């Protein structure tokens, strides 16, 4: 089956209107943060952020299937020595709009920006907010299982015999039995913390959105031939990954420069597929 990878040049607030209702399985995106990228996105003021985002999320709600998921990568900036509240206000506003705030994953960044300040440490994490339309949504947990390695060594080996016995009796037959099951396995389910690095390429453009990020969520929330949407696709990282994983995808980007880069990436991949065939 052919995989579609559609790139649209324009403002997602408008371009989303062309997409069908209930047509997308996963939305994963990293919108411009407040006040950043001011030259390209017009620099949304923190106080106006929620107001700016809501019309867009309304369209996202419309195009997402009831069993679909919306992943939002975002982090509030510091304003006058305080964390600004626009992100948590956005969560409340999205719930009012009909979204369920299912989970908040955390991206623990291995390599955070350097610097030293008198009253603050380096910011080393970002939010990965999960929203859904329905309490029942598609999730394929086995697809993101991780090698047991360190985790098993660190945790389970430290379980003393008394611990095992105590916990076993506490839960009846459940827990102790499970522990022995875990010990024999070589893969474990991950947690809601993603401890990974940003990609800092020397290349032409910066990749604040590393490939592992959309990849993890695409595997977790979609199957092959499903549809993935990134309304702020930038240089097309999400689409590139979707294409590689055999998912259909739609990307919208307002800046011609990034749009062109994304198009090149898609074309390159298609040519590679032809060569291989």
Work out which of 67, 106, 179, 207 binds DNA, going by CB under 7 A: 207
Q: Does 267 bind DNA (CB under 7 A)?
A: no
Do 230 and 205 form a contact (C-beta atoms < 8 A)? no
Residue closer to DNA (CB basis): 154 or 172: 154
Report the C-alpha gap between 63 and 70 in whole angstroms: 11
Query: Total number of residues binding DNA (CB under 7 A)?
Result: 51
Count of other CB atoms within 10 angstroms of residue 58? 14
Q: Does 157 bind DNA (CB under 7 A)?
A: yes
CA 164 to chain CA mean position, Å: 36
Q: In 3-state terms, what secondary structure has residue 22?
A: coil
Q: Does 172 bind a second copy (CB under 8 A)?
A: no
Q: In 3-state terms, what secondary structure has residue 65?
A: strand
Do 262 and 271 form a contact (C-beta atoms < 8 A)? no
252: its two tokens: 């919208």
Work out which of 148, 156, 159, 179 binds DNA, going by CB under 7 A: 148
* Spatial CA neighbour of 235 closest among 213, 216, 209: 209
Where along the sequence are the contacts to DNA (CB under 7 A)? 30-33, 36-38, 73-75, 77-78, 81, 110-120, 122-123, 126, 148-151, 157-158, 184-185, 187-189, 197-203, 206-209, 232, 234
Where along the sequence are the contacts to a second copy (CB under 8 A)? 80-83, 85, 88-89, 91-92, 95, 100-104, 106, 108, 110-112, 114, 116, 118-125, 135-137, 139, 141, 154-155, 158, 163, 178-179, 182, 188-193, 195, 200
């Amino acid at each position: 089956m052919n995989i579609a990878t559609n790139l649209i040049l324009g403002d997602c607030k408008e371009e989303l209107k062309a997409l069908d209702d209930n047509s997308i399985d996963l939305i994963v995106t990293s919108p411009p943060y407040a006040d950043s990228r001011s030259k390209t996105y017009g620099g949304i003021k923190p106080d106006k952020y929620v107001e700016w985002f809501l019309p867009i999320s309304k369209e996202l709600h419309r195009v997402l299937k009831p069993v679909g998921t919306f992943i939002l990568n975002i982090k509030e900036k510091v304003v006058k020595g305080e964390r600004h509240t626009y992100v948590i206000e956005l969560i409340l506003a999205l719930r009012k709009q009909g979204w369920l705030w299912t989970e908040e994953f955390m991206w623990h960044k291995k390599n955070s920006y350097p610097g030293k300040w008198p009253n603050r440490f380096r910011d080393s994490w970002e939010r990965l907010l999960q929203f859904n339309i329905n309490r029942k949504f598609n999730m394929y947990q086995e697809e993101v299982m991780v090698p047991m390695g360190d985790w098993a060594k660190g945790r389970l080996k430290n379980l003393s015999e008394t611990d095992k016995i105590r916990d076993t009796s506490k839960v009846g037959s459940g827990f102790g039995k499970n522990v022995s099951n875990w010990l024999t396995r070589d893969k474990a389910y991950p947690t809601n913390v993603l401890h990974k690095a940003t990609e800092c390429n020397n290349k032409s453009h910066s990749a604040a959105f590393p490939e592992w990020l959309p990849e993890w969520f695409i595997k977790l929330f979609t199957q092959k031939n499903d549809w993935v949407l990134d309304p702020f696709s930038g240089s097309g990282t999400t689409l590139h990954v979707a294409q590689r994983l055999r998912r259909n995808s739609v990307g919208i980007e307002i800046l011609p420069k990034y749009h062109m880069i994304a198009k090149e990436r898609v074309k390159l991949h298609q040519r590679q597929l032809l060569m291989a065939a």
